[in-house]
């Protein structure tokens, strides 16, 4: 059926692309439907279930007749209290329940925050490399996107001297993310102190996206632990990675009461709250004992061994001190760019990994492997990639001999 050519999408839709994983995973699904059995190591989605207590809380509460109606836009009080307790226990941060806003996922929170603070043309500092949604949401709102460099030789931390030389007069927001995705670089208290001081000096809201701090990381940090941080900072957090609940869409933000109210104005006009049993299950998840986190990290550590072997097979260099749900590696010098190499591996070894270019120009020349697959799949991916790169033949070609 033909499209009416006189009808066009909005300019802000013309200016962005469909999310990379949306199109690439459709390609992977098509290959699997053709019987090609692709191993996907691309998306950072945990493959393990939440704790038994979490699932039991969902099941039991869903049987109640009084939980199927609309819920408060600010989330149920029990959930905000549980988030406050979680922050105190693990981050050492005191939060009032009014300083917490539950979200239908922290990715969605990026939009809510941007809508609450940005006028058309306002500047947004976005990390390069960084999570693509920071850029795409800013483009949707017709803000001015100002990339700032994160470089390996600077431990993937902002260059504050370079930032101070920029024209910051119209900058409203700065996105930061530690433990960093995609690089796995961790923050330090000193980095957070510098970010808070930078935000206060220039009246820039520092938005810290913090979903990876519990994965292969012995010292979870929050930017809100810095004295006075709540005056200028908003922190996003999520149960997607830390509690194996990516499909549940449970996140939160924390900040001062005024910032929370402003974000709530945007959010309350977009969604109608979360299903109460999901919120009650999140309360149970936030009560997971330290042993539960340790067991998950033991599993991820075992997987990381094989992800590093895959990096070795591809002649990539990587930092063994990385944290989070991925291994990030620098490609060897080659005529191929990251997209070409990933497509070559996908078509010939039947393994999908993530090319670094999708995270920005400073991500070009890097590859990312997710730890969201079991050891058996990672081991098989290692054999496939190693065999192809060593012999130049796919498994199917070898089997025909």
pLDDT tops 50 at residue 93: yes
pLDDT tens per residue, range 21-40: 788 888 889 999 999 999 99
Q: Which helix (H) or strand (E) holds 352?
A: strand 351-352
Cβ-contact 237, 210 below 8 angstroms: yes
Torsion of the alpha carbons at 373, 378, 381 and 382, rounded to the nearest 10:
160
DSSP assignment of 71-96 equals --TT--HHHHHHHHHHHHHHH-----
Residues 238 and 271 in one domain: yes
State the average pLDDT over residues 294-311.
97
Secondary-structure breakdown of the chain: helix, strand, coil percentages, each rounded to the nearest 5 = 45, 15, 40
Res 4: pLDDT? 65
In a domain, 235, yes or no: yes
State the average pLDDT over residues 297-314.
97
- Between 21-35, 109-123, 265-279, the lowest mean confidence (pLDDT) is in 21-35
Q: Specify the CATH number for the domain of residue 100.
A: 3.40.640.10
What mean pLDDT is reported for the chain?
Answer: 94
Max distance between CA atoms of the chain, in angstroms, equals: 69
Q: Specify the CATH number for the domain of residue 27.
A: 3.90.1150.10
Residues 236 and 341 in one domain: no
State the average pLDDT over residues 324-345.
92
pLDDT level of residue 8 (50, 70, 90 thresholds): confident
- Between 5-9, 64-68, 124-128, 342-346, the lowest mean confidence (pLDDT) is in 5-9
Query: Tokens 């995973």 sit at which residue?
Result: 25
Percent of residues, the chain, with pLDDT higher than 70: 97
pLDDT tens per residue, range 214-266: 999 989 999 999 999 999 999 999 999 999 999 999 999 999 999 999 999 99
Residues 70 and 205 in one domain: yes
State the average pLDDT over residues 289-311.
97
Residues 270 and 205 in one domain: yes
Q: Of 263, 285, 307, which residue sits at a domain end?
A: 285
User: Cβ of 97: how many Cβ atoms within 10 Å?
Assistant: 16
pLDDT tens per residue, range 165-223: 999 999 999 999 999 999 999 999 999 999 999 999 999 999 999 999 999 998 999 99
Residues 247 and 119 in one domain: yes
Q: Of 233, 267, 285, which residue sits at a domain end?
A: 285
Res 401: pLDDT? 46
In a domain, 56, yes or no: yes
In a domain, 398, yes or no: no
379: domain range?
Answer: 11-49+290-390
Q: Of 285, 309, 343, which residue sits at a domain end?
A: 285
- Between 61-65, 217-221, 261-265, 392-396, the lowest mean confidence (pLDDT) is in 392-396
Res 351: pLDDT? 96
- For residues 175 and 118, what is the distance between their CA atoms, to the nearest angstrom? 13
Residues 237 and 307 in one domain: no
pLDDT tens per residue, range 143-171: 999 999 999 999 999 999 999 999 999 99
Res 393: pLDDT? 56
Residues 122 and 38 in one domain: no
């Amino acid at each position: 059926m033909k499209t009416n050519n006189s009808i066009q999408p909005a300019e802000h839709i013309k200016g962005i692309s469909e999310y990379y994983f949306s199109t690439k995973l459709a390609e992977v699904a098509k290959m699997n439907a053709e019987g090609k059995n692709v191993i996907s190591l691309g998306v950072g989605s945990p493959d393990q279930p939440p704790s038994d207590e979490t699932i039991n809380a969902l099941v039991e509460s869903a049987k109640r007749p009084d939980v199927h109606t609309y819920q408060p836009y600010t989330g149920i009080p029990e959930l905000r209290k549980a988030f406050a307790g979680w922050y105190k226990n693990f981050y050492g941060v005191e939060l009032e329940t009014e300083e917490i806003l539950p979200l239908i996922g922290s990715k969605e929170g990026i939009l809510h925050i941007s809508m609450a603070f940005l006028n058309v043309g306002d500047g947004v500092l976005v990390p390069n490399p960084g999570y693509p949604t920071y850029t795409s949401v800013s483009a949707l709102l017709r803000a001015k996107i100002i990339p700032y460099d994160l470089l390996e030789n600077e431990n993937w931390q902002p260059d504050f001297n370079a930032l101070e030389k920029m024209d910051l007069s119209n900058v409203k927001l700065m996105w930061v993310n530690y433990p960093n995705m995609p690089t796995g670089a961790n923050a330090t208290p000193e980095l957070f102190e510098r970010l808070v001081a930078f935000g206060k000096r220039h009246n820039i809201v520092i938005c810290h996206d913090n979903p990876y701090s519990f994965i292969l990381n012995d010292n979870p940090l929050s930017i809100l632990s810095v004295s006075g941080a709540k005056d200028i900072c908003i922190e996003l957090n999520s149960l997607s990675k830390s509690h194996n609940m990516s499909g549940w869409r449970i996140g939160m933000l924390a900040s001062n009461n005024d910032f929370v109210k402003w974000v709530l104005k945007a959010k309350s006009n977009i969604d109608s709250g979360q299903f109460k049993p999901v919120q009650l299950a999140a309360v149970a998840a936030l009560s997971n004992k330290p042993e539960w986190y340790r067991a998950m990290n033991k599993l991820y550590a075992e997987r990381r061994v094989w992800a590093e072997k895959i990096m070795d097979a591809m002649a990539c260099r990587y930092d063994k001190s990385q944290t989070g749900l991925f291994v990030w590696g620098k490609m060897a010098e080659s005529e191929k760019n990251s997209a070409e190499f990933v497509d070559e591996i996908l078509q010939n070894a039947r393994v999908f990994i993530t090319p670094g270019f999708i995270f920005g120009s400073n991500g070009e020349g890097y590859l990312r492997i997710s730890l969201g697959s079991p050891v058996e799949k990672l081991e098989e991916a290692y054999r496939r990639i190693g065999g192809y790169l060593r012999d130049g033949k796919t498994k199917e070609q070898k089997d025909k001999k």
